[in-house]
Structure 1
Amino acid sequence: MSKKKDIVIIGGGAAGFFAAINIATHNPSLSVIILERGKTGLQKVKVSGGGRCNVTHAEFIPSELIENYPRGKKELLGPFHTFMTGDTIAWFEERGIELKIEEDGRMFPITDNSQTIIDCFLSEAKKNNVEVLYNTSVKDISLSEETFRVSINQGEIFADKVIVATGSNPKIWKLLENLGHSIVNPVPSLFTFDINDERIAEIPGVVVKDVSVQVVDTDLHSEGPLLITHVGMSAPAILKLSAFGAVELAECNYKFRIEVNFIKLSFEDAVNELKSIKSTLARKTVYKFPQFEIPRRLWQKLVLAASIDDQKRWADINKEEIESLANQLTKAIFQVHGKSTFKEEFVTAGGVDLKEINFKTFESKIVPKLYFAGEVINVDAVTGGFNFQNAWTSAYIVAQHITL
């Protein structure tokens, strides 16, 4: 098979479809083809947000939105002034899809079903005559006399412009290296912490609403909800650390210590609070009456870890026991011995070096008419819809530039 197209898009995921649809909408005369290696595309859309598709996040100020990107923060400020959350909401609304905002700021289709977004993309692609080739692996990308030749398992496709929207794909990164690009080595960027510790054993599902977590001997720090899992800890407080510390934590082979402040008070303030509780609840059993809104199962674990007997009353605990409990509440040290992927969502730090990209157009500075959209470049974000927003923004700007 040999074809000639105006634009070849490598990658049939969120960024690839979004770019294709916007190109075809802005300039119907351009022929666009998407090359997808799987038998179906949009698999990351399908599993996002537990199958509900976390489309974006309700953050509407570019300078605040970029704070959620450990890599790409500076580079995305300009693009977000061109296309960001409000534009994403409008784009989907124009196609009959209403988004809703949850308490934590995440945004989902009101159907709570990722298939709604997938159906939208497939319908729009078909309506705008975007061709999609599934089960298509890209073997090589070359450029001769301003024409790209994309070699695939079924033959070859020639195009004036190429958009790479494959996400984290080592084979494609290698082809881009062959074209002269530098690739920042990928490391996982969104993962939970594996911890084997009696204080959190056998209490999976316990959530502490707002904690502070510090990676010991580093500047890595985060705050937010903490979830105790079967294998350790998760939820935003942990996932933020995994994203912002992706490179540093990889370098120590995911073996490090964290200090958790479960009540976000200083040790001294916690001691004073516990002394006050001691006088107020003198006849109550320490073990049976959780304080500071700590969930009961975790409170009981921390009380035992502080060497306080489960029958002891508040009136009977001494200064050393109060300080020991305060220490468990504000400065609990946990040894992390590994990582686990966060649900089905696998995000990496790494990709095409940001210095080699023009962020006004997302065009390569190395190879003219070669463009990038989504996570194929060294941009990643914390969980909550931010990675998708980068995909929508980069894909839209590429489409806008190509159709000028």
Structure 2
Amino acid sequence: MSKDLHISVIGGGAAGFFAAIAAKSHNPQAQVQILEKTSHFLAKVKISGGGRCNVCHAEFHNRKLAEHYPRGEKFLKKAFEQFNATSTMEWFEQRLVALKTYPDGCVFPLSNTSQSIIDCFLREAKKLDIELILHHGIDRIEKREDGGFVLHSKDKTIKTDRVIVTTGGQPKLSGLHWLEEIGHPIIPPVPSLFTFNMPNEPIKEFMGLVVEKATVRIEGQKLVGKGPLLITHWGMSGPAILQLSAWGARILAAFNYQFFILVNWLDETKESELRDTLENTRKIHGGKMISNHCPFPIPARLWNFLLAKNDVLPASRWNEINPKQINKLVNTLLNDRYQVMGKTTFKEEFVTAGGIDLNEIHVQSMESKQVPGMFFAGEVMDIDGITGGFNFQAAWTTGYIAGKHAAL
């Protein structure tokens, strides 16, 4: 462990701060700096989770935790042996950031504000004497003959011994050219975690409506998303849709975001179960108006929309509905078809599939196989998770490992 070691972290986000803190913690005598190209540190942490910051997910089995990553599952399964969800919760609580676990497994700061996480990182950085530099983007990295690096920006150059790259996901391949130039194969980035635009679908009129348990499939594919589904003024969103966009990121990009989805509004209800429910409803509630008596856990507005879609008059009684209408209603409840014609990404919170090829990174250290002394952490690698705190967990895990090993 060198006392004169100089470590430069490129990127002042979640992974960057975690890597810098880990490096300084493992080698207090090292000089550690964070270089951020914008005017704010931790900007994505600030706005994540609606300003609440979903710190991690309460999944404490490493293999099961790794299954939530469309890209990086096998890589992270090994990485979680060094730092996992238990480690994350202990890390924050040891620094007096109280956490709360919700029924769905999502973990947030008890304060319910991301500022608690930001303040924690800034306190740690100050306590450890980590140098924080804003407005300093790196355009090029040069490898020195002695094994160190020269970091080139518009205004000046910085000599350093170790580099940890934590610049996050890039929406365009051009944003990764500077890493490609030093010898790293790049997996071209495409958006992940996006919502579906449906400009021609009248269901948009019900924006704000939520179905708590739905199952959504991409027509002609094996891709499935499950969970709450939200109707928006541009189409559909919510965890069920975001799951689909993550697992299908490359397939949907190849479709140019033009495809059809099939919605099961009753979660995983099978046709035989549904027909039994409808038949029992006809027998027991036959005299009731079909529009006023919905036997399913879906909002009344959606129920009436689906009835109209199948030419069932709202004043019809349950004992008046004919077999043809029953068949159409069954198909709509279980396989409601919608046309998707584009996507909407959250610009501030965008997540991408793609980045540094994981085959070129040592999982035990996050060090480059191509360029010794260079380490990676966070979404700059070809790693991305579904919603629920998984992307932050990947940032903490890879940041911790990269910082620890860069400091050795």
Match of 1:269 in 2: 273
Match of 1:304 in 2: 308
Match of 1:19 in 2: 19
Which string of whole-angstrom CA distances, capped at 9 and with x for unpartnered residues, describes residues 48-79 of structure 1? 11001111111110010011100000111111
Match of 1:96 in 2: 96
The one of 387, 394, 399 equivalent to 2:391 is 387
**What is the DSSP-based 3-state SS (H/G/I as helix, E as strand, rest coil) of the residue aligned with 1:393?**
helix
1:29 aligns with 2:29: yes
Superposition pairs of residues 239-254 of structure 1, within 5 angstroms: 239-254=242-257
Cα 1:171–1:201, aligned 2, differ >3 Å: closer, same or farther? closer
Q: Which amino acid aligns with 1:207?
A: V
Superposition pairs of residues 3-402 of structure 1, within 5 angstroms: 6-145=6-145, 146-169=147-170, 170=173, 173-196=176-199, 198=201, 200-263=203-266, 264-342=268-346, 344-402=348-406
| 8 Å Cα contact 2:291/2:303 also seen in 1 | yes
| 8 Å Cα contact 1:228/1:234 also seen in 2 | yes
| 8 Å Cα contact 2:164/2:406 also seen in 1 | no
TM-score normalised over the length of structure 1: 0.96
| 8 Å Cα contact 1:199/1:298 also seen in 2 | no
**What is the DSSP-based 3-state SS (H/G/I as helix, E as strand, rest coil) of the residue aligned with 1:68?**
coil
Tell me, in whole angstroms, the C-alpha distance in 2 between the residues paired with 1:186 and 1:5.
33
Tell me, in whole angstroms, the C-alpha distance in 1 between the residues paired with 2:347 and 2:302.
23
| 8 Å Cα contact 2:201/2:339 also seen in 1 | no
Which string of whole-angstrom CA distances, capped at 9 and with x for unpartnered residues, describes residues 193-223 of structure 1? 1124555232112111211111011111122
Tell me, in whole angstroms, the C-alpha distance in 2 between the residues paired with 1:342 and 1:214.
22
Q: Which amino acid aligns with 2:73?
A: K
Cα 1:290–1:267, aligned 2, differ >3 Å: closer, same or farther? same
Q: Which amino acid aligns with 2:295?
A: Q
The alignment yields a C-alpha RMSD, in angstroms, of 1.4
**What is the DSSP-based 3-state SS (H/G/I as helix, E as strand, rest coil) of the residue aligned with 1:223?**
strand
1:28 deviates by: 1.1
Q: Which amino acid aligns with 1:27?
A: N
Of residues 295-304 and 258-267 in structure 1, the stretch that sits farther from structure 2 once superposed is 258-267
The sequence identity of aligned pairs, in percent, is: 47
Tell me, in whole angstroms, the C-alpha distance in 1 between the residues paired with 2:88 and 2:107.
11
**What is the DSSP-based 3-state SS (H/G/I as helix, E as strand, rest coil) of the residue aligned with 2:139?**
strand
Tell me, in whole angstroms, the C-alpha distance in 2 between the residues paired with 1:158 and 1:334.
55
1:119 deviates by: 1.0
Tell me, in whole angstroms, the C-alpha distance in 1 between the residues paired with 2:319 and 2:181.
72
Of residues 261-270 and 85-94 in structure 1, the stretch that sits farther from structure 2 once superposed is 261-270
1:344 deviates by: 4.1
1:343 deviates by: 7.7
Tell me, in whole angstroms, the C-alpha distance in 1 between the residues paired with 2:407 and 2:5.
14
| 8 Å Cα contact 1:197/1:334 also seen in 2 | no
Tell me, in whole angstroms, the C-alpha distance in 2 between the residues paired with 1:172 and 1:204.
35
| 8 Å Cα contact 1:374/1:395 also seen in 2 | yes
Q: Which amino acid aligns with 2:65?
A: L
Tell me, in whole angstroms, the C-alpha distance in 1 between the residues paired with 2:174 and 2:111.
36
1:288 deviates by: 1.9
1:402 deviates by: 2.4
Which string of whole-angstrom CA distances, capped at 9 and with x for unpartnered residues, describes residues 344-379 of structure 1? 421000100111111011000000010000000000
Q: Which amino acid aligns with 1:42?
A: L
Tell me, in whole angstroms, the C-alpha distance in 2 between the residues paired with 1:158 and 1:223.
49
**What is the DSSP-based 3-state SS (H/G/I as helix, E as strand, rest coil) of the residue aligned with 1:82?**
coil
For structure 1, list consecutive stretches of 5 or more residues without a partner in the other structure.
Answer: none
| 8 Å Cα contact 1:59/1:85 also seen in 2 | yes
Tell me, in whole angstroms, the C-alpha distance in 1 between the residues paired with 2:348 and 2:133.
25
Tell me, in whole angstroms, the C-alpha distance in 2 between the residues paired with 1:234 and 1:256.
15
TM-score normalised over the length of structure 2: 0.95
Tell me, in whole angstroms, the C-alpha distance in 2 between the residues paired with 1:201 and 1:251.
25
